[in-house]
C-alpha cells in the first residue's frame, strides 16, 4: 500500500497556526509574570531589610522561603510551557514540510 495523496490526514492549518500563536503568547505572558514576581520579591525583601525588618523579623524567613518556592514553581511551569511551545513548533514544521511534499 503506497502513500497516496488521498491517504493524507486532513486538518485545518489555520487552526494549528492559531493554537501555536496562543501557546507562544502564553509562554511570553508567563515569562513576563515571572520577571515581575522576581522584581516584586526583591522589592519586598529590600523593604523587609529596611524599615519593616524588626516588625516582621520572626516571620520574614518563612515568608521568603514560601515566596522562593513559588518562584521556583513558576519557573518550572515557565520551562514546561517553553518546552511545549518548542515541541509544538517542531510538529508545526513537520506539518509544513508534509504540505510541501504533497
Q: Is 41 exposed, middle or buried (0-12, 13-18, 19+ CB in 10 A)?
A: middle
For the record, the C-alpha cell of 101 comes out as 511534499
Give the domain ranges of the chain.
Answer: 7-101
What residues contact 59, with CB distance under 8 A and at least 6 apart? none
> How many CB atoms are closer than 10 A to CB 32?
10
pLDDT in tens, the chain (102 residues): 444 455 555 667 777 778 778 877 887 887 788 788 778 877 777 776 666 656 656 666 777 777 778 777 877 887 787 788 788 788 878 877 777 765
CA-wise closest residue to 71 among 32, 45, 41:
41
Amino acid at each position: 500500500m503506497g502513500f497516496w495523496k488521498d491517504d493524507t490526514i486532513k486538518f485545518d492549518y489555520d487552526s494549528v497556526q492559531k493554537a501555536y500563536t496562543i501557546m507562544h503568547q502564553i509562554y511570553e505572558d508567563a515569562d513576563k509574570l515571572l520577571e515581575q514576581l522576581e522584581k516584586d520579591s526583591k522589592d519586598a525583601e529590600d523593604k523587609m531589610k529596611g524599615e519593616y525588618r524588626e516588625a516582621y523579623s520572626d516571620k520574614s524567613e518563612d515568608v521568603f522561603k514560601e515566596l522562593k518556592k513559588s518562584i521556583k514553581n513558576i519557573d518550572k511551569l515557565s520551562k514546561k510551557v517553553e518546552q511545549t511551545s518548542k515541541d509544538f513548533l517542531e510538529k508545526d514544521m513537520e506539518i509544513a514540510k508534509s504540505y510541501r511534499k504533497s
